[in-house]
Amino acid sequence: MDRLESYLEANGILLCNQNPDLPALEDVGCTWRDVTGLIDRHGLFYSKAFRKRTAYLSPECYYLLRAVKPRRPLTPAAERILSALDGGAAVEAEVLKQVCGLPPKEYRDGFDLLLQNLYVTAMANGTVLHENWSTFRYGTAQAWEGVCPAPPPYGNSPRERLWELLRPTVPERCFRSLIR
């Protein structure tokens, strides 16, 4: 098991960029290449679930968070984007933008809403732009669940188990914010 996968399995969540509240990739000695490799293996769930920042979730954390976080209603733009992804094929954002035909701000706001509320995720690495950056091919959370089944249930409630998983690295106030 690689370093990023081990970290996520033990701690549940990691941010892409530095933040005073939670560890980020470079804080734990991981790189963009580690992220893209794990995304390609469906070993993490890419989201913006923590304060609208890019957050990588372990499969266990994703399933627990999905069980406790209320689902937000979708805007018309978010519904349109989600509908375009419902066919099952993972597509890059540029293609998705063209298919949806939304104005740029509406597309960005709708797509961010979907990432923040665990409706969509990165399914695979896309076009490599630089050794430390690439695009992603996105798909629905339902498609991701099809290739990354839920772990066996624990004796605790989902909220208790999520707190148990995140407690070593996530302050309680951040946990409360995450599950809202």
Q: What are phi and psi of 13, to 5 degrees?
A: -145, 150
pLDDT exceeds cutoff 80 at 32: yes
- From residue 9, alpha-carbon distances to 13, 32, 95, 108, 155 in Å are 9, 18, 33, 30, 18
3-state secondary structure of 137: strand
pLDDT at 149 > cutoff 90: no
Helix (H) or strand (E) holding 14: strand 13-15
DSSP codes joined into one string, 39-83:
HHTT-SEEEEEETTEEEEE-HHHHHHHHHHSPPPPPPHHHHHHHH
Residue type, 125: N
Sheet (strand 53-57) strand order: 13-15, 53-57, 45-50
Q: How far apart are CA 91 and CA 110, in angstroms?
A: 16
Fold (CATH) for 3-178? Arc Repressor Mutant, subunit A (1.10.10)
Domain ranges of the chain: 3-178
For residue 1, the model assigns a pLDDT of: 54
pLDDT for 101: 95
The pLDDT of residue 154 is above 80: no
Distance, CA of 155 to CA of 48 (rounded, Å): 28
| pLDDT value, residue 116 | 97
pTM comes to: 0.94
* pLDDT tens per residue, range 122-143: 999 998 888 888 899 999 999 9
Instruction: Give percent of the chain above pLDDT 70.
Output: 99
Torsion of CA 148, 154, 156, 157, to 10 degrees: 40
Q: Is the pLDDT of residue 60 over 80?
A: yes
Mean pLDDT of 154-161: 88
**What is the average pLDDT score of the chain?**
94
